[in-house]
């Protein structure tokens, strides 16, 4: 009988995509993917380390597996992802969780099948962690979550060293894939029925494919692929957002009128201490340019509350920036100390209570604006790519508009993977309701 596996994924879309690749490799090897971890012979946990909570959730999950491991010594536990790139985590795993079988890093994904084989045949722990990646490994298979849309890595790593962030330490330096490889992959995906691609990188704006192809150049090349309907990307750093990319919004029909543009703070003083390399004014100017090039563009962001030294005035500048930009949506985070990053050493850490108060004020403002913006969609007709059944129940399906808004509507299973025209009937804080008026 073939062996079964299950992957638990924490963190961002990079991790999601790494999990798709691991699933692809194991499926190719004859393993079968199962929906529930309890039914698996091999459990893989792909970790994230962006905030302390993420670390805690991993150790919680690992704790749950201990009993199963005791009852069934043949059960294999593999751990990977961003947490594994930190020595103190490896030390904790070795001392407190000695029953973990395979530990591998973010640059060693391609070795998973071989590591599982070795763990089974040698019956001893396997550890493979490279501190940084070499050449990007091409041609790995992927078992994708959706059939109509796909995640496509265009680069890995990050060179920015924002002072709060662990990613440059866990993902290594920036490396871009060759544009031909990306174009070839997207062509294959389109042949398999994919209509929408999400280009992934920690800072896609600093993509350097070859001497002629920067990020905007890549968008123009992908826009020319027949059969592809939509191009999205994540994440773009304001400091490198070029005029050429802004122009691409005006020129490329397939580039969705949506951008996730993390601001982190509305105070230039805090931005400087975060090492973000732009000011509040420069950010606002970018937003203005984007709106000039693509009038109805939707904009979302990430904001950190309670960065060390953030004063009430700094925080009010953040509130003011949110009011000016009027984001369609925003992810807000409480600053979390990350071992080994510069900001962890900063004096003036903000008390938890103040962080929480600011967080609540910010979320309230953001939600009010989101609800107002979404209410403005009522009566509009939006083209929606149907992704699948919605959470709200029978005969209800959901999909995304060009501007990345989630829409729920009554439909049928044959709409999955298809573009439909939906008239918006209601705007809620986090989603829209609508009815299908055409295919
Ligand atoms: N590369 C992306 C962000 C990746 S991490 C970019 O630069 O935009 C996703 C988000 O997590 C960040 O935008 C930031 O808002 C948040 N984040 C990162 N480190 C954090 C920390 N130590 N505490 C709280 N939030 C953090
Ligand atoms: Fe982290 Fe900054 Fe790199 Fe984004 S750009 S991954 S926030 S260091
Ligand atoms: Fe987390 Fe690593 Fe992504 S730290 S957010 S999984 S790059």
Give the tens place of pLDDT for each residue, 4-49.
999 999 999 999 999 999 999 999 999 999 999 999 999 999 999 9
Task: Answer whether residue 438 shows pLDDT above 90.
Answer: no
Distance from residue 50's CA to the centre of ligand 1 (Å): 7
> 3.20.20.70, 3.30.750.200, 3.30.300.130, 3.40.5.90: which CATH number matches 261-375?
3.30.750.200
| pLDDT score of 155 | 96
Predicted confidence band of residue 156 (pLDDT cuts 50, 70, 90): very high
**Nearest residue (CA) to ligand 2, atom 1:** 165
Taking alpha carbons only, the member of 424, 283, 431, 429 closest to residue 369 is 429
Spell out the domain ranges in the chain. Answer: 4-128, 146-256, 261-375, 381-436
Query: Tokens representing 434?
Result: 């609508």
- pTM of the complete model: 0.95
Best residue among 47, 50, 57 to mutate for probing ligand 3, ranked by most atoms within 8 Å of CB = 50
Name the β-bridge partners of 44: 7, 78
**Nearest residue (CA) to ligand 2, atom 4:** 202
Asked whether 80 and 45 are in contact (CB, 8 A), the reply is yes
| pLDDT score of 309 | 97
Predicted confidence band of residue 1 (pLDDT cuts 50, 70, 90): low
Q: Which residues contact 39 (CB under 8 A, 6 or more apart)?
A: 4, 6
The gap from C-alpha 300 to its chain's centroid, in whole angstroms, comes to 13
- Whether 146-256 and 4-128 are alike in CATH topology: the answer is no
Query: Tokens representing 122?
Result: 């040698």
Give the CATH number of domain 146-256: 3.30.750.210
Ligand nearest to the CA of 12: 3
Q: How far apart are CA 190 and CA 223, in angstroms?
A: 12
Predicted confidence band of residue 394 (pLDDT cuts 50, 70, 90): confident
- The sheet that has 126-128: what strands, in order across it? 32-33, 4-9, 42-47, 76-81, 102-104, 126-128
User: Computed over its alpha carbons, how large is the radius of gyration of the chain?
Assistant: 22
Distance from residue 51's CA to the centre of ligand 2 (Å): 13
Whether the upstream peptide bond of residue 350 has omega within 30° of 0, thus cis, is no
Q: How far apart are CA 377 and CA 211, in angstroms?
A: 42
Asked whether 346 and 157 are in contact (CB, 8 A), the reply is no
End-to-end Cα spacing for the chain:
44
| pLDDT score of 409 | 97
Task: Answer whether residue 387 shows pLDDT above 70.
Answer: yes
Task: Answer whether residue 163 shows pLDDT above 70.
Answer: yes
Query: Tokens representing 209?
Result: 């494919």
Q: Is 320 helix (H, G, I), strand (E, B) or coil?
A: helix
With a 6 Å cutoff on the Cβ, whether 107 touches ligand 2 is no
Q: What's the average model confidence in pLDDT over 288-304? A: 96
Tens digits of per-residue pLDDT, 69-91? 999 989 999 999 999 999 999 99
Tens digits of per-residue pLDDT, 246-275? 999 999 999 999 999 999 999 999 999 999
| CB count in 10 Å sphere of residue 71 | 8
Whether the upstream peptide bond of residue 416 has omega within 30° of 0, thus cis, is no
| pLDDT score of 293 | 93
Helix (H) or strand (E) segment spanning residue 406: strand 406-410
Lowest-pLDDT range of 131-145, 190-204, 296-310, 366-380: 131-145
Chain position carrying tokens 């997207």: 186
Q: How far apart are CA 50 and CA 362, in angstroms?
A: 21
> 3.40.50.300, 3.50.50.60, 3.40.50.12160, 3.40.50.10420: which CATH number matches 4-128?
3.40.50.12160
Task: Answer whether residue 393 shows pLDDT above 80.
Answer: no
Task: Please identify, by atom number, the ligand 1 atom nearest to the C-alpha of residue 262.
Answer: 8
Distance from residue 28's CA to the centre of ligand 1 (Å): 34
Distance from residue 28's CA to the centre of ligand 3 (Å): 26
| pLDDT score of 392 | 76
Distance from residue 200's CA to the centre of ligand 1 (Å): 15
Q: How far apart are CA 369 and CA 301, in angstroms?
A: 13
Ramachandran angles phi, psi of 273, nearest 5°: -70, -20
Mean pLDDT, the chain, as a whole number? 96
Q: What's the average model confidence in pLDDT over 94-100? A: 95
- The sheet that has 298-305: what strands, in order across it? 258-260, 298-305, 329-334
- Give the whole-number percent of the chain exceeding pLDDT 90: 93
Task: Answer whether residue 122 shows pLDDT above 90.
Answer: yes
Chain position carrying tokens 């004859």: 30
Helix (H) or strand (E) segment spanning residue 314: helix 312-325
Query: Tokens representing 128?
Result: 């493979």
Give the CATH superfamily of 381-436. Nucleic acid-binding proteins (2.40.50.140)
Tens digits of per-residue pLDDT, 320-335? 999 999 999 999 999 9
- Give the whole-number percent of the chain exceeding pLDDT 70: 100
Distances (CA, A) of 353 to 75, 290, 304, 350, 356: 43, 37, 15, 8, 5
């Amino acid at each position: 009988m073939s062996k079964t596996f299950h992957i638990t994924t924490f963190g961002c879309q990079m991790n999601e995509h790494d999990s798709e690749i691991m699933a692809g490799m194991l499926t190719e090897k004859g393993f079968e993917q199962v929906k529930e971890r309890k039914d698996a012979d091999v459990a893989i946990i792909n970790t994230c380390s962006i905030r302390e909570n993420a670390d805690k959730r991993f150790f919680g999950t690992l704790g749950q597996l201990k009993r199963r491991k005791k009852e069934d010594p043949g059960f294999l536990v593999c751990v990977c992802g961003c947490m594994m790139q930190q020595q103190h985590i490896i030390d904790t795993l070795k001392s407190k969780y000695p029953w973990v079988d395979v530990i591998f890093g973010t640059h060693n994904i391609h070795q998973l099948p071989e590591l599982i084989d070795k763990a089974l045949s040698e019956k001893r722990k396997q550890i493979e962690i490279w501190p940084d990646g070499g050449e990007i490994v091409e041609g790995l298979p992927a078992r994708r979550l959706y059939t109509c849309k796909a995640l496509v890595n265009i680069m890995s790593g990050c060179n920015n060293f924002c002072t709060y962030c662990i990613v440059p330490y866990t993902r290594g330096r920036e490396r871009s894939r060759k544009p031909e490889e990306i174009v070839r992959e997207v062509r294959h995906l389109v042949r398999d029925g994919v209509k929408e691609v999400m280009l992934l990188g920690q800072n896609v704006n600093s993509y350097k494919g070859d001497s002629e192809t920067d990020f905007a150049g890549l968008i123009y090349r992908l826009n020319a692929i027949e059969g592809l309907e939509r191009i999205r990307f994540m994440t773009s750093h304001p400091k490198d957002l070029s005029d050429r990319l802004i122009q691409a919004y005006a020129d490329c029909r397939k580039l969705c009128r949506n951008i996730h543009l993390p601001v982190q703070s509305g105070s230039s003083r805090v931005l400087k201490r975060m090492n973000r390399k732009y000011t509040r004014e420069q950010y606002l100017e970018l937003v203005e340019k984007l709106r000039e090039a693509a009038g109805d563009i939707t904009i979302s962001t990430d904001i950190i509350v309670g960065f060390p030294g953030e004063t009430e005035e700094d925080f009010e500048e953040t509130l003011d920036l949110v009011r000016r930009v009027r984001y369609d949506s925003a992810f807000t985070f409480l600053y979390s100390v990350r071992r080994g990053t510069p900001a962890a050493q900063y004096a003036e850490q903000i008390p938890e209570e103040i962080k929480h108060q600011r967080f609540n004020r910010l979320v309230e403002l953001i939600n009010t604006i989101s609800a107002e913006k979404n209410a403005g969609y009522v009566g509009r007709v939006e083209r929606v790519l149907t992704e699948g059944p919605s959470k709200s129940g029978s005969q209800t399906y959901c999909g995304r508009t060009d501007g990345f808004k989630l829409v729920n509507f009554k439909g049928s299973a044959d709409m999955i993977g298809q573009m439909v025209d939906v008239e918006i009937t209601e705007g809620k804080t986090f989603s829209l309701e609508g009815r299908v008026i055409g295919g």
